[in-house]
Structure 1
Amino acid sequence: MLWSGWGDPAKAAPLPEPMVGLLRDLLSVRPADAPPAALPDVKAAAPRLPGEDLTALAAVVGDGNVRADTESRVRHTRGKSTPDLLRIRAGDTSDTPDAVVLPGSHDEVLAVLEACAARRIAVVPFGGGTSVVGGLAPEGVTAFIALDLRRMDRLVSLDEVSRTAVLQPGLRAPAAEALLNERGYTLGHFPQSYEWASIGGFAAARSSGQASAGYGRFDDMVVGLTAATPEGTLDLGRAPKSAAGPDLRQLVLGSEGAFGVITSVRVRVHPVPAAKEYEGWRFASFAEGTAALRRLAQDGPLPAVLRLSDEAETMVGLADPTAIGGPSVARRSDGGGRGLEDEGPSGAGCLAVLGFEGA
C-alpha cells in the first residue's frame, strides 16, 4: 500500500485527459505537480513508550514483532480518508503511533491488551489501513500502539455442510477469496477497499460492498466471532441460537475496535457462481432509475450488484456524458421497470450497473 495514498505505487497512472478536462471545466482545477513528502525525509516524534514497556510487549510477541522505527510508525499513521491523506502527504505525523505490535494469535492479543491496560497504553487495531472514519488516530491519550494483525492471516476451517468458514482478522480480502475459491466457494464481499482491506476490518466497520445487494453486508454474513479484551475473551454467536437476551455480536460488529479486538470471524460462504452477467442501464433521470430499481428490489430478480449513479456521478465517472446510452452499450427503462433497448445516443442521464450471478 502506498504510504501517502491509495494503491500500489508500481501501478500508478496519470489521470486520463478527459478527467483532467472535466476537473478543469467544472471545478476550475488546474493540474499542478504536488508530490507527497518523501518517506525517508518524514520526521516523527520520538516514541513516548519507555524501554521497559517495549520490552514487556516484546516478551509477548517476540523482539521482531515490536517495531518503533520511524518508517513502521509512519506507515501505520491514520487511515485513507481525504483529510488523513492530505495531512500525511504534507508530512504531518502528529498522530503517529509510539510502536507497532504484531501479535500472531488470539492468546498473544489477549496478553498485549493486558500489558497495555496495566501500563495505560491505548491500543488501536490495524488491519489493512483503509479506514476512512478517523479511528486510527486516538485523541486524549498519552501513548498508543498500532496493533497490526497481519500475522493472523489464515483460513482456519471451512464447513461445507453449513457453508461457513472461520477466518482470522489479518487475512486480506483477495487472499481470503483465493483460499475459498480453491475449495469452490466465495465470500461475495467486494468493497472499494477490497484489494487492501482485512477480514477483521470488514467486521469492525460493518463493511458494505458492490455485491451487497445480493450477498448482504459483511455484518449480515457473520455467524459468530471471537474478540479479545483486557478482561478476557468474547466468544459470540455459537449455536444453538437463543431467543433470550440481546445478540452481543451486534455490539462488536461496527465497533471499530472500541469493545475489543476481533481475532476470528465465522462467516457464511457461497458456491462460486457458474455464470455472471453484468449490464449497464441508462435512465433519463435519477427518479426514473430509482423507480425501476425499486421494482426490481420488490419483485425480482434481485441482482448481486445494483448501483444507480445520479447525473453528476454518472458524468464524472465516465468523464464523457455522451458515452452513456449508446445502442450497443446500455439499456434504458420506460419508467415502469421494464428494460428497453436504447435506440441511439442521448443525454447523460443516470447510469445503473447491475450484476446477475447464478447457475
Structure 2
Amino acid sequence: ASATGELSLRRANVTVQFAIDGAVTGLFLDHKTIAPRPVPVDGTLDASLTVSPTAVAVDHANLTIGAAAWTASGWLRRGSPISGQLDLKLAPASCMSLVHSIPVELRGPLDGIAMTGTFGGHARLSIDLAAPQGDGVELDTQLANGCIVTAEPPAADVMTLVGVSDHTFPDGSHGRVGPEEPTWFALRRLRSYVWGAFVSAEDGRFFSHPGFDTVQIARSFEIDLRDGRLARGGSTISQQLIKNSFLTQRRSLDRKVQEALLTWRLEARLEKETILERYLNIIELGPHMFGIRAAAAYWFGKSPRELTVHEAAFLAALTSEPTTMTRRIRRAGTLDADSAARVDIILRAMRRDGVISTEEFNAARAQPLWFSAAALRRET
C-alpha cells in the first residue's frame, strides 16, 4: 500500500486538532468481520477532528472511493451517559458507478445487476442515553433513489422466490421449496393469528416499512449501547428471507452490503404476502426443522391450520433461538420458565398489535401447551 498527502496535529491547552488530506492506494483490509477475503481499498480522505477531555468532534470528513463520495460530521460527548450526533451524506451519483465502487470482494451474488438513474442520501443518528429507555437513539434517513433496474443479478434474482426453487438450509441440508412442494403451506390457509404471531415477534411494522425498519434499528442500537455490547440486530422479515435464501449466515460487512441491495429488490418485486409466505416456509423452528408445516407436525402433531393462539406464539418464539429453546424444553420435559417467558412476550406483542383480543390473550395464557413425544425426546 502507498499513501500520499498531509497530516497535521495542533494542540491548544487540553484540546487537540487533527487534520488529514491525502490518498491511499493498494490498501487491503483483511478481517473476518469485513469479508472472507482481503478487500482492496483505494480512495481519498479530507478530514478534521477535534479532541478534548469532554468531547470528540468531527468537523468534516470527506471520503471518496470510486464514484461514492461520502461526507460526515458530528460529535460525541465523552463519559456517561453517552450522547452524540452523526450526519452522513452520499452525494448523488450514477447507480451503476456506485455498484462498481463496491470492491468485487464485497459484491458476492450482486454481480450481473444492471441499472440506470442516480442515487444519493442523507442519514442522521442522534444519541442521548440520558433520555428514557426507548427514546435514547433516533435514526432519520432521506434517500433519493432514482435507480431503475434493467437486469437482476442472475445468482440472486428475487423472482425465483415466487415459484419452486432449490434451497440450502442453515444446517447445510438441501430441499425444494415452493407452492407445488409437499412441504409447502399456503399463507391463505393459515389463521391470521398464526402468521400474525411471527410478524409481532420478528417485525411488527412489516406491512408498513420498505424492507428496512429504521425505528427498530435505532431501538436495537440503543439496547446495545446501554448493555455495552453489540449483540442485537434490527433485521426485518424481508432481510431475513434474503439472508436465508441467497447469502451466508456470516455476520460481516460483505453480507450486509449484499443484503441491503437484495432486500431493496425483494420489496420492489414481490408483494408483502408473498415475502411472508416464503419466510414461513423456510424459517428454522427446531432442530433441523424448517417451515411452519414441519414445525407444527413436529411440536404438536397437527397441521398449521389447527394451531391454537398459544401454539402459534410458541412457534414464533422459537425464531430467535430454535436450538437453545429446544434444548431447554427437552431438558425440562415441558415448557421451561425461560421459554414460557419468551412465549408470554410474544402473546403480549400480539395483543399490542391487534392480532388477538384481550379475551384471546387471557385464554391463551391459561391454556397449557402439550408437546408431541418426538419433540421431547432427547437426541442421543
Structure 1 length-normalised TM: 0.29
Higher normalized strand content (fraction of residues):
2
Higher normalized helix content (fraction of residues):
2
Structure number with the bigger relative contact order (C-alpha 8 A, sep ≥ 6) is 1
Structure 2 length-normalised TM: 0.28
